[in-house]
Structure 1
Amino acid sequence: MTRNSLPVLGLSLAVSLAVSAPLAANATDIVVATVNNGHMIEMQKLTHYFEQANPDIHVKWVTLEEGVLRQRMTTDITTQGGQFDVMTIGMYETPIWGKKGWLQEIKPDASYDVDDLLPAIRSGLSADGKLYAAPFYGESSMLMYRSDLAQKAGITFAERPTWDQVRDAAAKMNDPKAGIYGICLRGKPGWGDNMAFLTTLVNSYGGQWFDMSWKPQLDSKPWHDAITFYVDLLKKYGPPGSSANSFNEILALYNEGKCAMWDDATIAASFITDPKQSKVADKVAFAQAPQQATAKGANWLWAWALAVPVSTKNSAAAQKFVNWATSKAYIELVAKEEGWAHVPTGTRKSTYANAQFLAAAKFAPAEEKAIASANPNDSTLPKSPYTGVQFAAIPEFQSIGVTVGQQMSAALAGKETVDAALKASQLAAERELKKSGRLK
């Protein structure tokens, strides 16, 4: 996610037009901005079905890397620029932007079945009881590992192992001469890149972003212990260049058979178990995200969701597209086209009640359990004044998370010591909260 809090200008956008049926002469163009993840690419491929059913609507796509997407969405929504009719945003932005009146309430028809949405996901995309973004896919995080390498090393994982046990397993499975690294973890800077993972690691060590007086806690012992552990773990058992890796980079490494373990988004499971994409598809097993001092906040909660900004001039068409892309019917369409193992998950109860999905997706029980166990209202061992698991749901967090992410990436790359990175992060967080008036 965001790696730079400044607006990005002059970008070469990856704009793709969906293959469509013949358009009505007065067709309405809607512009959908999304992230370059696998499920979103699939949505673009299937958009011609939407256009066939709605010949008066033509969908144009702007597809961006996560960090760039965040910058563009934030700039457009805060300036009411109106460049986009549908935005792909998440559980951090949705309640904040909804409360500010920047998003339209999502009001699908009865056939959409809002009550079928998983409660934790629906709640995270709502503000004051109103749904402001519809979930396209939801996720938590979990440990994904090579069952063949674990068996060879004599390793048996508990349902939720400790990070010390993961470190020991990484040491046993690490074989860089064979091109296999003991563990792969995010290192690319960004509040939704390395800091999504690192916040859950810090949570598991008993840490938090801010105490009840809003004083940043980045110079505390849990942060120091967690980040020291992380840097040491990846230096010994991670792939070279880990400070440049986030979800897509590690997904490619894992599918090539180069990662013995990976703690990351549950949505990855549908890709690494796909024999069309993964060389180790039949050798993947799952455990819950590791804990250390506590299991609280050890695994995150997120949804990529579609929202309609109030600045759109094509409200009806935008709402119609959001309803289609996040419906039960869309999930069934993906199943028909690609198979049940490839449907977007983490959004609906009916998906996890579907026998065909459960038979095709061996990761489903672990994924569902991870999502259900994440509690954004109680994610830290000490009491915290914020909601959110891998982020703090306050406007200042985006800037703070970007800065801290850069410091943590520098520490991982050996450009800075852990102590210096945490000290600089503490000062930056204090400065941001004092500027906003939250910290006195």
Structure 2
Amino acid sequence: MTTMIRALLGATALTAAGFAASAQDTTLTIATVNNGDMIRMQGLADAFTEETGIALEWVTLEENVLRQRVTQDIATNGGQFDVMTIGTYEVPIWGAQDWLVSLNDLPAEYDVDDILPAIRGGLTVDGELYAAPFYGESSMVMYRTDLMEAAGLEMPDAPTWDFIKEAAAAMTDKDNEVYGICLRGKAGWGENMAFLTAMSNSYGARWFDMDWNPQFDSEAWANTLNDYLDLMNSYGPPGASGNGFNENLALFQQGKCGMWIDATVAASFVTNPNDSTVADKVGFALAPDNGLGKRGNWLWAWSLAVPAGSDNPDAAKQFIAWATSKDYTALVAENEGWANVPPGTRTSLYENPEYQEVPFAQMTLESINAADPTAPTVDEVPYTGVQFVAIPEFQSIGTAVGQTFSAALAGQMSAEDALAQAQALTEREMKRAGYIE
């Protein structure tokens, strides 16, 4: 019996355990993001349908659009989706509102205790697990080893922002369309503001002080934004204000980025020779710091959850148990190799000798462990969340601030004006929400 067949049989047993038998005519509508791991899941999901009889209908959306659609649906109890792909920001807020179905009744074979504590904690409210992580991530530096060597530099395992600036300058060759650094510029609380908030933590900045007063008028935020704009304007690709995760991934795979600081999950895509022209020339390092005790890395998990409005909660749980199981990981490894399994969710994966040979496995785990959502900043704050603020209002505020900073990157306003606008709009919304007078 091959490993793949064993994985399929194991996954089938898992989906059947603990749930009532599913009707053959059940169809689940699944909202997900257009990231590579989710696309791969869709390609393998026929195995789930063949064994359970549960049909799957996919709604695959760009990250910002996905967030808008699922937020609107769950807030109105619309019932459009049976399974939602949501993140570490939404789960605790929506779980506390009883907008999500508890997953505490997943079968024992699922082994909830195997989920990495940092990831599981972000998906749990008052002892109830409200989402299962499909993959977990932090952020790190991915860089071209050949360009670094040609520049006469050696990337430290734990670089500083000053080194990143030096390396970006040394690796830039605009005549040959090689840019020293690629960073997110596309507006969105989970796009450019995910990067900039994490970066700001390492600069000693914070969104709010202990009384919920916005802090964009601080020197730390000015230093963060000015350094970001200097890096991108001097050494980044043209049109960077429109680049998010997927756009920068494509640029790196095409050999146009000397460095890219972004999600650890990207490592499997930049080292895949089928997709990346520089697959054998990639190194990894922790996200940079400024010597203040915090690195510019985040903590996130794209997770699968059942909205309370679903008409098929048991079938939805079956699918989630399948897609986030150890057996699914084995199925991906059989088909695509260990480097391409969904990372950052289970302790057993990082104890697996085969996975330990993957070149980015250890750096991913170290990056995840280095992020602390309960103490994300140098100075004390009243909120949790590393690259976001875990309050319901952050989704709209973060997007608005992201639009302002993206406009600054596009040259439509100065950094000073962008920070002033960010301060004013955040202050206005926090007053409206009752956090400050």
TM-score by length of 1: 0.93
Q: Which residue of 2 aligns with 1:94?
A: 91
Amino acid in the other structure paired with 1:78: A
In structure 2, C-alpha distance between the alignment counterparts of 1:196 and 1:295, rounded to whole Å: 19
In the alignment, does 2:371 pair up with 1:374? yes
Aligned partner (choices 58, 64, 71) of residue 61 of structure 2:
64
In structure 2, C-alpha distance between the alignment counterparts of 1:356 and 1:26, rounded to whole Å: 38
Tell me the CA shift for residue 201 of structure 1: 1.0
Amino acid in the other structure paired with 1:147: T
Q: Which residue of 2 aligns with 1:110?
A: 108
Unaligned runs of 5+ in 2: 1-21
Q: Contact (CA 8 Å) 1:206, 1:293: kept in 2 or not?
A: no
Q: Which residue of 1 aligns with 2:333?
A: 335
Q: Which residue of 1 aligns with 2:354?
A: 356
Aligned partner (choices 134, 137, 145) of residue 136 of structure 1:
134
Aligned partner (choices 152, 160, 163) of residue 162 of structure 1:
160
- CA offset digits 1:390-413 (Å, max 9, x no partner): 000001111110010000000111
Q: Contact (CA 8 Å) 2:288, 2:295: kept in 1 or not?
A: no
Q: Contact (CA 8 Å) 2:287, 2:295: kept in 1 or not?
A: no
Q: Which residue of 1 aligns with 2:405?
A: 408
- CA offset digits 1:179-227 (Å, max 9, x no partner): 1100000000000000000001111110000000000001111001110
In the alignment, does 2:319 pair up with 1:307? no
Q: Which residue of 2 aligns with 1:186?
A: 184
Tell me the CA shift for residue 295 of structure 1: 3.8
Amino acid in the other structure paired with 1:191: W
Check 1:25–1:144 CA distance in 2 against 1; reply closer, same or farther (3 A cut).
Answer: closer
Q: Contact (CA 8 Å) 1:91, 1:304: kept in 2 or not?
A: yes
Tell me the CA shift for residue 152 of structure 1: 1.1
In structure 2, C-alpha distance between the alignment counterparts of 1:104 and 1:294, rounded to whole Å: 40
Tell me the CA shift for residue 116 of structure 1: 0.5
Amino acid in the other structure paired with 1:151: E
Q: Contact (CA 8 Å) 2:193, 2:387: kept in 1 or not?
A: yes
In structure 2, C-alpha distance between the alignment counterparts of 1:289 and 1:25, rounded to whole Å: 48
Q: Which residue of 2 aligns with 1:119?
A: 117
Equivalent position SS for 2:303: strand
Q: Which residue of 1 aligns with 2:234?
A: 236
Q: Which residue of 2 aligns with 1:387?
A: 384
Q: Contact (CA 8 Å) 1:136, 1:344: kept in 2 or not?
A: yes
Identity %: 57
In structure 2, C-alpha distance between the alignment counterparts of 1:215 and 1:297, rounded to whole Å: 23
Q: Which residue of 2 aligns with 1:207?
A: 205
Q: Which residue of 1 aligns with 2:431?
A: 434
- CA offset digits 1:266-288 (Å, max 9, x no partner): 00101001111100011000110
Q: Contact (CA 8 Å) 2:241, 2:409: kept in 1 or not?
A: yes
Tell me the CA shift for residue 178 of structure 1: 1.5
Tell me the CA shift for residue 171 of structure 1: 0.6
Tell me the CA shift for residue 389 of structure 1: 0.2
After superposition, the CA RMSD in angstroms is: 1.0
Equivalent position SS for 1:135: strand
Unaligned runs of 5+ in 1: 1-23
Check 1:350–1:26 CA distance in 2 against 1; reply closer, same or farther (3 A cut).
Answer: closer
Equivalent position SS for 2:280: helix
Equivalent position SS for 1:182: strand
Tell me the CA shift for residue 294 of structure 1: 2.2
In structure 1, C-alpha distance between the alignment counterparts of 2:166 and 2:80, rounded to whole Å: 50
Q: Contact (CA 8 Å) 1:297, 1:389: kept in 2 or not?
A: no
Q: Which residue of 1 aligns with 2:319?
A: 321
Q: Contact (CA 8 Å) 1:162, 1:291: kept in 2 or not?
A: yes
In structure 2, C-alpha distance between the alignment counterparts of 1:341 and 1:98, rounded to whole Å: 32
In the alignment, does 2:264 pair up with 1:272? no
Tell me the CA shift for residue 69 of structure 1: 0.3
Q: Which residue of 2 aligns with 1:175?
A: 173
Q: Contact (CA 8 Å) 1:297, 1:390: kept in 2 or not?
A: no
Tell me the CA shift for residue 250 of structure 1: 0.4
In structure 2, C-alpha distance between the alignment counterparts of 1:249 and 1:229, rounded to whole Å: 22
Q: Which residue of 2 aligns with 1:16?
A: none
Equivalent position SS for 2:397: helix
